[in-house]
Amino acid sequence: SLVILCHKLQESMLSSASSFRNYRGVLNWCVVMLVLSNARLFLENLLRYGILVDPIQVVSLFLKDPYSWPAACLVIGILGVCIDVHVLGSISEKVGLLIYIFNLTVILCFPMVVVLKLPSITPVGGAFTLGVYTILFLKLYSYKDVNRWCRVRTQVKARSLSRSLSCPSSPSASSCMQSHVSYPGNLSLRDMYYFVFAPTLCYELNFPRSESIRMGFLLRRLFEMVGNCTLLYSVKPVFILQEMDYSRMTERLLRLAVPNHLIWLIFFYCFFHSSMNFVAELLRFGDREFYRDWWNSETITYFWQNWNIPVHKWCLRHFYKPLLRRGAGKLLSQSAVFFASAFFHEYLVSVPLRMFRLWAFMGMMAQLPLAWFVAKFLRGNYGNAAVWLSLIIGQPIAVLMYVHDYYVTHCQDDPTITEAL
């Protein structure tokens, strides 16, 4: 009877009705196809240039003539600036807050002014510098908040302790961990610099730490970083800008969209997976959730909440929830977060290009009606396809706008660049 019966009622695995969702192999397929279709260029680049950026050469070049590398100077300069902030304690809360506000404003404005005034800084160098300063800004903001929360808590504890002296301070669940640090003990240079280099934007007194540094893991991430950088050089977006007529715009957009999207994906993997995991492994930083499964997102909102976890966590902890605690409405707080995000996008793009066009800002703002539309009308795989389309098509529209404007302002009279484009 068992031999004679051999069918049972079930759906195909690829049907949306089936609950099967394991497509790890498809991801591997994408990697194999990407490497294979660029194999010739990839091998050529690797053979010709070796590891793309020779670190010793860069350092020696920098040491010889540091002032022709202003972007790098700015990045290194900042590390000294932020020491002053941990000497709080002997001054009052209000004075400390003022110093913080001054410091944070300087961190945000100083590089902007330098990038705008120094013409020797390239757009890429400028964007990199501003990115580093923005990260530092967010980190210091979190550092200030958490230390303030700690002070408030110790004050509350001290008050409740004076009321009932018989009961000793109850040990919290986390205090049973080995080498657990509590409030004033964390104010050290060592602790602060660990936070500055750790791949997170949210300060915490006791970060979860991994057991040990796995050399195999470290080497694989390093190999991925080198491989991805080599791959990036073989994916070249096609910018055809000579005659910018709007009739052939659609075709051009598509020709730009796919390489641009591939570059973004490779950048995502290289930065959010390889580099961050590399740094985390080096620092034995335990929390490796730098992104969640945004590739499955069926709404625009889910994508924005999951593709960049460090920033999302920071926004939630230091912007959205404090706003809610102060009595702001949910919709108002959400819009405020989006507004701040749009501001930083614009800051990171406009300043290095020295063009204020608000394309990035508008691109971020356009996400709001789009999110509403997708959530309202599309479900499941169709919603997911819509999110992918908005990524593939939406991004290059903004990029095309900036490239077009940059071309018009900078290169129109220069025949050599026109030809190169």
Q: Does 409 bind a copy of itself (CB under 8 A)?
A: no
- Distance of closest approach, residue 104 Cβ to a copy of itself, in angstroms: 21
| Site stretch for a copy of itself (CB under 8 A), options 13-21, 72-80, 116-124, 398-406 | 13-21
Identify the residue among 85, 88, 104, 202 touching a copy of itself (CB under 8 A): 202
Residue 212 CB, shortest distance to a copy of itself, in Å, is 13
With respect to a copy of itself, which residue has the nearer C-beta, 210 or 335?
210
Contact status: 200 vs a copy of itself (CB under 8 A): yes
| Binding string, residues 159-188; x marks residues near a copy of itself by CB under 8 A | -------------x-x--------------
What is the number of other CB atoms lying within 10 angstroms of the CB of residue 160?
A: 11
Angle of CA points 297, 298, 304, to nearest 5°: 50
Establish if 194 lies at the interface with a copy of itself (CB under 8 A): no
Supply the minimum distance, in Å, between the C-beta of residue 62 and a copy of itself. 32
Q: Which stretch binds a copy of itself (CB under 8 A): 65-73, 81-89, 203-211, 234-242?
A: 203-211
Interface region with a copy of itself, contact rule CB under 8 A, candidates 89-97, 200-208, 226-234, 347-355: 200-208
Q: What is the maximum alpha-carbon separation in the chain? A: 86
φ/ψ of 222, rounded to 5, equals: -65, -45
Residue with tokens 């294979």: 36
Cβ proximity of 85 and 142 under 8 Å: no
- Contact between 151 and a copy of itself (CB under 8 A)? no
* Window 219-258: contact mask with a copy of itself (x via CB under 8 A): --------------------------------x--x--xx
Alpha-carbon distance of 6 to 37, in angstroms, equals 42
Nearest-Å Rg of the Cα atoms of the chain is: 25
Q: Which amino acid is at 6?
A: C
> Is 40 a residue that touches a copy of itself (CB under 8 A)?
yes
Count of residues that interact with a copy of itself, criterion CB under 8 A? 75
Among 86, 273, 354, 357, binds a copy of itself (CB under 8 A): 273
**Shortest distance, CB of residue 83 to a copy of itself, whole angstroms?**
23
Q: Which of 261, 273, 312, 345 is catalytic?
A: 345
Cβ distance to a copy of itself smaller for residue 69 or 314: 314
Distance separating alpha carbons of residues 356 and 343, to the nearest angstrom? 12
Q: How far is CA 87 from the centre of its chain?
A: 30
Residues 275-294 that bind a copy of itself (CB under 8 A): 276-277, 286-294
Does 9 sit near a copy of itself (CB under 8 A)?
yes
DSSP reduced 3-state for 305: helix
Q: Least Å distance between CB 192 and a copy of itself?
A: 16
Tokens for 173, please give them: 């669940």
Residue 331 has which token pair?
């919709």
Burial 321-354 (b: 16+ CB within 10 A, else e): eebeeeeeeeeebeeebbeebbebbbbbbbbbbb
318 given a catalytic annotation = no
Residue 209's DSSP bridge partners are 285
155 near a copy of itself, rule: CB under 8 A: no
Helix (H, G, I), strand (E, B) or coil at 285: strand
| Nearest approach, Cβ of residue 58 and a copy of itself (Å) | 28
**Residues 369 to 408: which contact a copy of itself by CB under 8 A?**
381, 384-385, 388-389, 392
**Pair of tokens at residue 15:** 């049907």
Evaluate the CA torsion angle 68, 345, 144, 280 in order and state its sign.
Answer: negative
Q: Which is nearer to a copy of itself, 129 or 200 (CB)?
A: 200
| Secondary structure element (H or E) that encloses residue 355, with its range | none
Q: Is 2 an interacting residue with respect to a copy of itself (CB under 8 A)?
A: no
Question: Nearest distance from residue 388's CB to a copy of itself, in Å?
Answer: 5
Closer residue to a copy of itself (CB): 85 or 349: 85
Question: How far is CA 405 from each of CA 127, 241, 290, 347, 348, rounded to the nearest angstrom?
Answer: 17, 10, 34, 17, 17
Which residues from 299-358 bind a copy of itself, rule CB under 8 A? 313, 317, 321
Q: What is the 3-state secondary structure (H, E, C) of 189-231?
A: HHHHHHHHHCCCCCCCCCCCECCCCCHHHHHHHHHHHHHHHHH
Task: Specify the 3-state DSSP secondary structure of 182.
Answer: coil
Q: Nearest approach, Cβ of 270 to a copy of itself (angstroms)?
A: 12
x/- site string to a copy of itself, residues 89 to 128, per CB under 8 A?
Answer: ----------------------------------------
The beta-carbon contacts of 92-96 under 8 Å, at least 24 apart in sequence, are 93/148, 93/151
Residues identified as active-site: 345
